[in-house]
């Protein structure tokens, strides 16, 4: 008897064309810019309006595109940003910056992570190897769930009241056991030479150290001052 064909997904004759069409839609959105409408995209590509709508809806469902706040247009989504970051290769700290961060890690004995804010997204550039960051993908998609991302949301004018109050009182943001019971995190801003928010340095560890972050902040805040000129 002959061997049975291996099970698994197969491509039909029509699917490669559909994949190509979806990729051209992504290219059109990138070319036209955030807010491109379905009509503009269909005209750009010479696609029937119904076909453009169908492809756009599929790409939104899979998070390659997002709808603009007014729902009238489209913009590139989180998955495209993540793919671009992988293709470009991870950003790396200089040896001088890594040395500064290593001192803080030794002093705090907990997770110390560095993120930069690029094009409105939080990107982890140096995660603590001994205390791994909980979920890098979720940080990009739901930054408000993390102390690091809450700084970004405040800068964007979208921070929750509790995060804004923490920032006013402490110069930092916190997350208190909302993702992992018993654990919390604290983050302080990294600023460029003009004083603009360019990223954040965060600590993650037992929740009591975030409930009373004075000892953590005594290390993180000087770290951010020293680190800023080295990474931004």
**Short-list 201, 179, 175, 207, CA closest to 189:** 201
Closest by CA to 199, choosing from 134, 124, 146, is 124
Greatest pairwise CA separation for the chain in angstroms:
76
If you search the block for the tokens 């000087």, which residue do you land on?
222
pLDDT for the residue numbered 62: 87
Distance CA 137, CA 121 (A): 11
CB 38 within 8 A of CB 52: yes
Element (H, E) at 205: strand 197-206
CA distances from 187 to 34, 180, 210 (A): 30, 17, 10
Residue 111, pLDDT score: 94
**Would you call 77 helix, strand, or coil by DSSP?**
coil
Enumerate the β-bridge partners of residue 183.
206
What's the CA gap between 122 and 152, in Å, rounded? 7
pLDDT of residue 139: 86
Rounded alpha-carbon distances, angstroms, from residue 101 to 67, 89, 174, 213: 38, 21, 20, 18
Distance CA 220, CA 110 (A): 12
**How many angstroms from the chain centroid is the CA of residue 184?**
19
Per-residue pLDDT of the chain (232 residues; tens, 9 = 90+): 344 444 444 434 455 677 888 889 999 988 888 788 999 999 999 989 999 999 999 999 988 898 887 788 898 887 776 666 554 444 567 888 899 999 999 999 889 999 998 878 888 889 999 998 888 878 888 889 999 999 999 988 888 999 999 999 999 999 999 888 999 999 999 998 788 888 999 999 999 999 999 999 999 999 999 998 887 6
Residue 232 has what pLDDT? Answer: 61
Q: The pTM is what?
A: 0.62
């Amino acid at each position: 008897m002959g061997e049975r064909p291996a099970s698994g997904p197969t491509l039909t004759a029509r699917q490669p064309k559909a994949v190509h069409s979806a990729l051209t839609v992504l290219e059109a959105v990138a070319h036209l810019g955030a807010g491109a409408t379905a009509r503009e995209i269909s005209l750009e590509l010479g696609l029937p309006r119904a076909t453009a709508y169908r492809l756009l809806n599929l790409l939104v469902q899979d998070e390659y595109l997002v709808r603009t706040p007014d729902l009238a247009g489209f913009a590139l989504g989180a998955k495209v940003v993540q793919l671009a970051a992988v293709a470009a290769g991870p950003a790396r700290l200089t040896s001088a910056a890594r040395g500064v961060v290593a001192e803080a890690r030794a002093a705090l004995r907990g997770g110390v992570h560095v993120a930069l804010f690029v094009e409105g997204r939080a990107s982890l550039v140096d995660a603590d190897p001994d205390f791994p960051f909980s979920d890098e993908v979720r940080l990009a998609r739901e930054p408000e769930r993390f102390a690091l991302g809450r700084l970004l949301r405040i800068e964007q004018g979208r921070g929750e009241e509790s995060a804004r109050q923490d920032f006013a009182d402490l110069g930092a943001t916190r997350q208190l056991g909302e993702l992992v019971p018993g654990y919390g995190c604290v983050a302080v801003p990294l600023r460029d030479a003009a004083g603009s928010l360019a990223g954040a340095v965060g600590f993650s560890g037992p929740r009591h150290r975030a409930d009373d972050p004075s000892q953590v902040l005594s290390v993180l805040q000087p770290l951010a001052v020293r680190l800023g000129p080295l990474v931004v």
